[in-house]
Amino acid sequence: MHRLIAVSLALLCACLPGASLPALAGEDAHPVAPPPACVNNKGETVSFESVEGGRKGLAAGMARRDGEGRPIVMRANFAAAPEPFQKFIDRHECAHHQTGDVDMPHPPRNGPEHLMNEAVADCIAILRLRDEEGFGEAGLKQVSEALAADMKGIGFPEISVSSRLRNIESCFSRDGNAAQLIAARLKERGLE
């Protein structure tokens, strides 16, 4: 357990200058990937819903509770993103439910707590793609390229893009899986 906590602290350092959300994507019409299984830290099933709006040509996701308090992930413009990146966005947003972010007060935007939440969500997403979807280096590259293109298109500085990609790459090559990272995160927060 000590090792997992150390790893999440290392994530913070790798990610501080960058990573804001939601995750976003490209131009052409792509088939839309089926959503992944997603259960939050309270055992509630998270549903995925396509929504209108958002920035044209950019796929985006948002994790929240709906008007009835049900946990959902909103998917906007997913057909604009290559399928591997859609899958990344889904799992990133799911991670905000799995780690309890959705039910906590939103930390100040781009402050250290917020960036940590984003770094952990990115890490969980890429580990799930590696371990559950069989993503190898080629899949990692597709995700990284789509993410970088969108972040640059939106106007993120290069250092934000590169630090976020570095975190994702380092997560991809680490030992341990998404479930362990989620468990460590919940323990840190007293939500286990």
**Minimum CB–partner distance for residue 30 and Zn ion (Å):** 21
User: 171: which residues sit within 8 A by CB, 6+ positions away?
Assistant: 11, 122, 123, 126, 127
Which whole-number Å values give the CA distances from 58 to 1, 78, 88, 95, 159, in the listed order? Answer: 38, 8, 14, 20, 21
**Minimum CB–partner distance for residue 36 and Zn ion (Å):** 15
**Minimum CB–partner distance for residue 154 and Zn ion (Å):** 14
**Minimum CB–partner distance for residue 23 and Zn ion (Å):** 7
Binding of residue 121 to Zn ion (CB under 5 A): yes
Judged by CB under 5 A, which of 11, 15, 21, 89 binds Zn ion?
A: 21
Comparing C-alpha atoms, which of 158, 149, 135, 35 is closest to residue 92? Answer: 35
Binding of residue 89 to Zn ion (CB under 5 A): no
Instruction: Specify the stretch interacting with Zn ion by CB under 5 A; choose among 14-22, 126-134, 167-175, 177-185.
Output: 14-22
Total of chain residues touching Zn ion, rule CB under 5 A:
3
How many Cβ atoms sit within 10 Å of the Cβ of residue 27?
12
Which whole-number Å values give the CA distances from 191 to 12, 88, 125, 184, in the listed order? Answer: 20, 25, 20, 10
Instruction: Specify the stretch interacting with Zn ion by CB under 5 A; choose among 21-29, 47-55, 105-113, 138-146.
Output: 21-29
> Tokens representing 166?
């570095």
Binding of residue 120 to Zn ion (CB under 5 A): no
Where along the sequence are the contacts to Zn ion (CB under 5 A)? Answer: 21, 118, 121
